[in-house]
């Protein structure tokens, strides 16, 4: 008979991520995870004492599973890789993706990419508050951009404006552009808009420091 796997924080968090992906964040509780692991809920408390700590761990697991930029990278590389990897998480983990808007990032593993981004913008010449604003803006932009996709991927209703009910006379451009909307890569557009906008900030900072 195979001995049961020992209970550990990593095992608990991996189970919580699986529950969130399958059944959504609202279903991801200590009691539910304990049931999945066939243990009493009090067995989890030494590893994960509260639901908030459990969801913080889901954030850690989620970001830890992505190939997010680390170390000495240029700020442009950080933005492009970060945006692409977060967008990939929305596809592979639609059920748990919303946790990125509901809980803060905690722990060294999940935070390492943000240290890399801050350092990259600092090397580019931005002041500390500008570095924070740049990294925070990129993170919130891509998570917000991908929420619709994650919602649909988790079984939610596809969110679409009812353009057909609007008159062509009053909304001619909207009718025209929505005919090709399915071919638009929103993530790629966002990525390059962020790079272009931040490039202007970097140029302004370097000019001011001359």
In tens, the pLDDT along 132-183 reads 999 999 999 999 999 888 877 666 666 678 888 999 999 999 988 888 777 7
Specify the pTM. Answer: 0.88
pLDDT reported for residue 154: 62
The per-residue pLDDT for range 81-136, each reduced to its tens digit, is 999 999 999 999 999 999 999 999 988 989 999 999 999 999 999 999 999 999 99
- pLDDT attached to residue 151: 75
- Buried b / exposed e across 30-68, counting CB within 10 Å, b at 16+? bebbbeebeeeeeebeebbeeeebbbbbbbbbbbbebeb
Compute the distance between CA of residue 29 and CA of residue 156 in angstroms, rounded to an integer: 21
Cβ-based neighbour number of residue 156 at 10 Å: 12
Residue that has been written with the tokens 């202007």 in this structure:
200
Quick count: other Cβ atoms within 10 Å of Cβ 152?
14
């Amino acid at each position: 008979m195979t001995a049961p796997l020992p209970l550990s924080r990593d095992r608990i968090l991996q189970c919580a991520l699986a529950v969130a992906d399958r059944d959504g964040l609202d279903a991801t509780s200590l009691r539910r995870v304990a049931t999945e692991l066939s243990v009493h809920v009090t067995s989890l408390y030494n590893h994960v004492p509260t639901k908030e700590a459990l969801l913080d761990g889901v954030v850690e697991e989620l970001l830890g599973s992505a190939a997010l930029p680390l170390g000495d990278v240029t700020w442009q590389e950080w933005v492009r890789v970060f945006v692409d990897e977060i967008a990939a998480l929305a596809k592979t983990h639609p059920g748990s993706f919303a946790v990125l808007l509901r809980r803060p990032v905690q722990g060294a593993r999940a935070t390492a990419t943000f240290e890399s981004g801050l350092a990259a913008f600092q090397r580019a010449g931005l002041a500390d508050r500008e570095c924070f604003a740049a990294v925070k803006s990129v993170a919130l932009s891509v998570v917000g951009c991908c929420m619709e996709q994650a919602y649909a991927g988790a079984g939610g209703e596809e969110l679409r404006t009812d353009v057909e009910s609007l008159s062509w006379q009053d909304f001619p451009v909207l009718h025209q552009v929505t005919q090709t909307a399915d071919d638009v890569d929103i993530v790629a557009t966002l990525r390059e808009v962020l790079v272009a906008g931040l490039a202007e900030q970097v140029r302004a900072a370097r000019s001011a420091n001359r």
